[in-house]
């Protein structure tokens, strides 16, 4: 099934100039970027985005981290892409992430794990709405679509 996932390059990815290499992994895989923006997340949006963690001991540090510098927020589309992108991103703790995953190749610690990706269709829908207006989500055909999908 065609899905849309919310993917965000966190401040450490931007400041470490890793954005192009990370985005290239999604493009190389055949996934389609349908929305894209750089922004510095205001505190209230950070708290809303991570609301499920608000009682956790790391919540304050997480909000400080995610608001510390600009992020790159994206909507990425592809067949069953929500779970696929989670696999490409790797485990929350980069020290435990498989080599070949984004976190496994570029990061070392949980509190500096460089990228966010939606973990379910429900969270994807919620997160996309939080960061993008409907009008900011683009629709276009990939000319090599038949080379990527069987049908």
Select the span of 18-26, 32-40, 110-118, 143-151 touching ligand UDP (CB under 6 A): 110-118
Ranges within 44-83 binding ligand UDP (CB under 6 A): 53, 58, 62
Looking at 16-24, 36-44, 107-115, 127-135, which segment touches ligand UDP (CB under 6 A)?
Answer: 107-115
Residues near 74 by beta carbon (within 8 Å), at least 6 away in sequence: 6, 7, 8, 9, 23, 33, 35, 36, 37
Closest separation between CB of residue 110 and ligand UDP, Å? Answer: 4
**Is residue 116 among the annotated active site residues?**
yes
Q: Which helix (H) or strand (E) holds 46?
A: helix 43-49
Binder among 37, 98, 111, 148 for ligand UDP (CB under 6 A) = 111
Q: Is the distance from CB of 128 to CB of 37 less than 8 angstroms? A: no
Query: Which residues are part of the catalytic machinery?
Result: 116
């Amino acid at each position: 099934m065609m899905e849309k996932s919310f993917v965000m390059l966190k401040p450490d990815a931007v400041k470490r100039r890793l954005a192009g290499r990370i985005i290239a992994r999604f493009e190389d895989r055949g996934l389609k970027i349908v929305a894209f923006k750089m922004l510095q997340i205001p505190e209230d949006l950070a708290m809303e985005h991570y609301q499920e963690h608000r009682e956790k001991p790391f919540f304050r540090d997480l909000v400080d981290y995610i608001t510390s510098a600009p992020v790159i927020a994206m909507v990425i589309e592809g067949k069953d892409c929500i779970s696929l992108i989670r696999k490409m991103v790797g485990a929350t703790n980069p020290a435990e992430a498989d080599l070949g995953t984004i976190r496994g190749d570029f990061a070392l610690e949980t509190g500096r794990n460089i990228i966010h990706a939606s973990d379910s269709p429900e969270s994807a829908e919620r997160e996309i709405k939080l960061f993008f207006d409907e009008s900011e989500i683009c629709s276009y055909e990939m000319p090599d679509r038949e080379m990527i999908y069987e049908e």
